[in-house]
Amino acid sequence: MNNSEKKRMNGEAEEENEEDVEDEGRDAWERTYTDERSWEALEEDESGLLQPIDNKAIYHSQYRRRLQSLSATSAASRIQKGLIRFLCVVVDLSKAAGEMDFKPSRMAVIAKHVEAFIREFFDQNPLSQIGLVIIKDGVAQSLTELGGSPEAHIKALMGKLGCAGDSSLQNALELVHDTLHKIPSYGHREVLILYSALSTCDPGDIMETIQKCKKAKLRCSVIGLSAEMFVCKHLCQETGGSYMVALDEGHFKELLLEHAPPPPALAEFAIANLIKMGFPQRAAEGSIAICSCHREAKVGEGYICPRCKARVCELPTECRFCGLTLVSSPHLARSYHHLFPIEPFTEVSARQLELSRVASKTCFSCRESLLTPGTNKAGPCAACTKCKQYFCLDCDIYIHESLHNCPGCESRRITPAAASVTMS
């Protein structure tokens, strides 16, 4: 068992202090066995065979807790979200990234999950851009420029996977600061550092660099893979980012994907601006033009910039000749669910469901029975606060994580009189 101490940093320091007092003399790995005795959750049925553990209820309660914490942070006032994001992902490829505590190696795990993260990021933030930076041999290099095409970033990252030398946090921050300094004021500047090393070799005073980043309104977040470091914690606290340390591969993936949806934008960071954008039409079938991205003649599919009539291959992009940002309306529409989120459903206990006067106890959207399988008793379910329809737990998760529409509310026609009441 690897003896490196891994503690989950979620701000509950008091809890950990109490545990420390009681379990002195025990290692962290021993303490996890005293806390969670997973073997006690196993059950046997009548014939002595092991029963499958009902993970559904546990999963749903974890999901609800996550949703509550998310909605609590954006409660009351309508906090703006940073929708146009310029994110620099800094990957630490120092010697520590070759450690094999994540199988097959930390570097391989990071690469795999960063690829998934990049795709998810562009899926949720179509107008944003990512730039990749790697730290190797004590020097930070910019792997890709800030750009909006996921394939280019992924290809560049996969080609450069080799770890060596020391890691230098200050060099990375300096490089990122220079890159992000030039972007327009309406964009949100973010940095995500995936740090494996336990030290940093800096040429100067890193505290000064941190202050410089804070003044430039860079929001730096760090995901550590080995242990918690003071300098990372200080950086995140000063700039308003989040610092988490991954416990294992699954946890790392979860932490990484948490950075994909837009973060709540702090009011002082966001300068609202009207950005001029073009909505190009598709080129006519069979038309031949030289495309501006590949510099070769292409037939048919492509888009025409409305200002300078140059042909581009894919959207969203910036026209190479006139600099106009070109998007299509679905790209903007992809972000609308962040602006018009649906409320979390309330949990309905089995007793409340039985008492309700609903004729057929089925989920409104998928028509699955809400009764516990094999019995006639009602199981737990969720209800929408506005349309009062009942939904099963799986639909609840799907609706809030992927669909962002409540089927009950969408299947009702609200008259203007009722609508004005609900809006006020």
Partner 1 sequence: MATLPSKPIADDVSLLVVLIDTNPFFWSTSSSSLNFHQFVSHVLVFLDLIVRLSQLNQIVVIATGHNTCDYIYDSSLDTDQVTGEGELPALYSFVLQRLEEFVDKDEKLGAKQEGLSEKRASSLLSGSLSMALCYIQRVFRSGPLHPQPRILCLQGSPDGSEQYVSIMNAIFSAQRSMVPIDCCYVGSHNSAFLQQASYITGGVYVKPQHLEGLYQYLATVFAVDLHSRSFLQLPRPAGVDFRASCFCHKTTIDMGYVCSVCLSIFCKHHDKCSTCGSVFGKAQLDAASDRKRKASES
Could you tell me the two tokens for 396?
Answer: 């609840």
| Residue 399 binds partner 1, judged by CB under 8 A | yes
Of 105 and 335, the one with the shorter C-beta distance to partner 1 is: 335
Give the integer Cα–Cα distance in Å for 77 and 95.
Answer: 46
Give the integer Cα–Cα distance in Å for 68 and 71.
Answer: 5
Burial class (CB in 10 A: 0-12, 13-18, 19+), 131: buried
Could you tell me the two tokens for 161?
Answer: 């996977």
> Which of the stretches 172-180, 230-238, 265-273, 288-296 binds partner 1 when contact is defined by CB under 8 A?
265-273
**Quick one: residue 375, left, alpha or beta (phi over 0 = left, psi -120 to 50 = alpha)?**
beta
Tell me the per-residue interface mask from 192 to 231 with partner 1, x by CB under 8 A, - otherwise.
Answer: ----------------------------------------
Contact 247, 261 (CB under 8 A): no
| Residue 333 binds partner 1, judged by CB under 8 A | yes
Give the integer Cα–Cα distance in Å for 139 and 170.
Answer: 9
Burial class (CB in 10 A: 0-12, 13-18, 19+), 99: middle
Give the integer Cα–Cα distance in Å for 206 and 242.
Answer: 19
**CA of 176: how far to CAs of 43, 97, 131, 133, 161, in Å?**
53, 20, 9, 8, 20
Of 117 and 364, the one with the shorter C-beta distance to partner 1 is: 364
| Residue 267 binds partner 1, judged by CB under 8 A | yes
Tell me the per-residue interface mask from 139 to 178 with partner 1, x by CB under 8 A, - otherwise.
Answer: ----------------------------------------
141, 147, 249, 398: residue in contact with partner 1 (rule CB under 8 A): 398
> Which of the stretches 66-74, 86-94, 99-107, 408-416 binds partner 1 when contact is defined by CB under 8 A?
408-416
Of 215 and 412, the one with the shorter C-beta distance to partner 1 is: 412
| Residue 108 binds partner 1, judged by CB under 8 A | no
Give the integer Cα–Cα distance in Å for 107 and 103.
Answer: 9
In angstroms, give the least distance from the CB of 324 to partner 1: 7
* Helix, strand, or coil (residue 115): helix
> Which of the stretches 93-101, 130-138, 326-334, 375-383 binds partner 1 when contact is defined by CB under 8 A?
326-334
| Residue 57 binds partner 1, judged by CB under 8 A | no
CA-wise closest residue to 340 among 4, 83, 36, 65? 83
Residues 6 or more apart whose Cβ sits within 8 Å of residue 230: none
> Which of the stretches 154-162, 199-207, 263-271, 370-378 binds partner 1 when contact is defined by CB under 8 A?
263-271
> Which of the stretches 4-12, 67-75, 378-386, 399-407 binds partner 1 when contact is defined by CB under 8 A?
399-407
DSSP code string of 387-405: T--EE-HHHHHHIIIII-S
| Residue 277 binds partner 1, judged by CB under 8 A | yes
> Which of the stretches 6-14, 33-41, 163-171, 278-286 binds partner 1 when contact is defined by CB under 8 A?
278-286
Of 34 and 411, the one with the shorter C-beta distance to partner 1 is: 411
| Residue 32 binds partner 1, judged by CB under 8 A | no
339, 349, 351, 377: residue in contact with partner 1 (rule CB under 8 A): 339
Of 142 and 325, the one with the shorter C-beta distance to partner 1 is: 325
| Residue 330 binds partner 1, judged by CB under 8 A | yes
112, 155, 282, 388: residue in contact with partner 1 (rule CB under 8 A): 282
Could you tell me the two tokens for 296?
Answer: 């070769």
CA-wise closest residue to 383 among 353, 360, 412? 353
| Residue 405 binds partner 1, judged by CB under 8 A | yes
Helix (H) or strand (E) holding 207: helix 206-215
Of 241 and 278, the one with the shorter C-beta distance to partner 1 is: 278
Residues at the site binding partner 1, with contacts judged by CB under 8 A: 55-56, 59, 80, 83-84, 123, 127, 186-187, 267-268, 270-282, 284, 306-307, 324, 328-330, 332-337, 339-340, 363-368, 394-395, 398-399, 402-407, 410-413, 415
